[in-house]
Amino acid sequence: MKNQGKFVLGLLVGAAVVIIVVGMFSVVSFGSTIAVIRIKGTISSSPSFLFETTTPHDILPLIERVEEDPSIRGVLFEIDSPGGSVVASREIAYGIRRMEKPKVCWMGDIAASGAYWIASSCDHIMADPLTLTGSIGATASYLEFSELFEKYGITYEQITSGERKDTGTPFRNITEEERDKMQYIIDEIFRYFLDDVRESRSLTEEQAEQISSGDVFLAKDAVEMGLIDSLGTMRDAKERVKEMSGAEYAEFVELKSGGLSLLDLLGLM
């Protein structure tokens, strides 16, 4: 009986191994796959231990993997982010724009500012009607304590290599010349942002004017503005990317920075 039990157990273990091996073999070697790449948290140039971030270092290697793997027919970007770093957002957006394989974006609770910059590089953008998006623009702010210091007789002295080296310090107010310089920088960033979105989305002058206010929009309203192509669920977005990729029976595989897990290879999301 003991030997028979061991024999049955061995068969079960062997069968499980065969299933896993065959599953991996079919997905990787023969089956078509659609990659899923998630962009969540603040867009940043470097990771943070305090809050969730997405960096170019996380995403660009995954994009390269998608382009090089012949079994991957397309990619679904799942975005849930309020935006973040200008340079990091632009770098990821340009990486997506250069992709040749079909790319669809699905927006979660929010995909605004730099996160929308990234989304605009996809071939098709889909979102829930109540997704928050837009916020096209740039901002800069700082605290200023000079009047508080004056009230308590506290003075500020700073030795710098240039007269504007301490621009933005909270210990003094900025001059009109410094304010004009900061406004120029913000305006230039905004111009790059708006021009990229207008080109990627083929917006009319009227649509570009609508979004230039920096307002946040519900996705259901953003459709008319040209920011979003269609409304739907994640399931709808998956159907859309399969249709665009010509891969009706493709498995969806999440790509993560650092490699694929066994569950990823089996397409178990």
pLDDT recorded at residue 12: 41
pLDDT recorded at residue 105: 97
- For residue 137, which of 70, 190, 68 has the smallest C-alpha distance? 190
Beta bridge partners, 116, equal none
Asked whether residue 38 is assigned to any structural domain, the reply reads yes
DSSP strand pairing (216-218 vs 132-134): antiparallel
Asked whether residue 6 is assigned to any structural domain, the reply reads no
206/240 same-domain check? no
66/81 same-domain check? yes
CATH number at residue 244: 3.90.226.10
Instruction: Write the DSSP assignment of 11-31 as a string of letters.
Output: HHHHHHHHHHHHHHHIIIIIS
The three-class DSSP label of residue 61 is helix
pLDDT recorded at residue 260: 46
Q: Note whether 267 and 33 are within 8 A (CB).
A: yes
Beta bridge partners, 231, equal 127
Asked whether residue 16 is assigned to any structural domain, the reply reads no
CA dist., res. 199 & res. 212, Å (int): 14
Between the CA of residue 12 and those of 6, 31, 164, what are the distances in Å? Answer: 10, 26, 74
**CA Rg, the chain, in Å?**
25
Widest distance between CA atoms in the chain = 92
CA dist., res. 91 & res. 8, Å (int): 55
Q: Is the dihedral of CA 152, 158, 163, 168 positive or negative?
A: negative
Overall domain count for the chain: 2
pTM of the prediction? 0.78
125/229 same-domain check? yes
129/37 same-domain check? yes
Q: What is the DSSP letter of 84?
A: B
CA dist., res. 146 & res. 164, Å (int): 17
79/190 same-domain check? no
Query: Active-site residue numbers?
Result: 113, 165
Range of the domain at 146: 136-213
Mean pLDDT by 10 residues, the chain (269 residues): 47 38 34 93 90 95 95 97 95 96 97 96 97 89 72 74 71 81 90 94 93 94 96 97 92 80 43
Structure tokens at 196: 């990229």
| Phi and psi torsions of 225, nearest 5° | -85, -5
Determine the straight-line distance between the first and last CA of the chain, rounded to whole angstroms: 40
- For residue 264, give the H/E element and its range: helix 262-265
CA dist., res. 135 & res. 14, Å (int): 55
221/238 same-domain check? yes
109/197 same-domain check? no
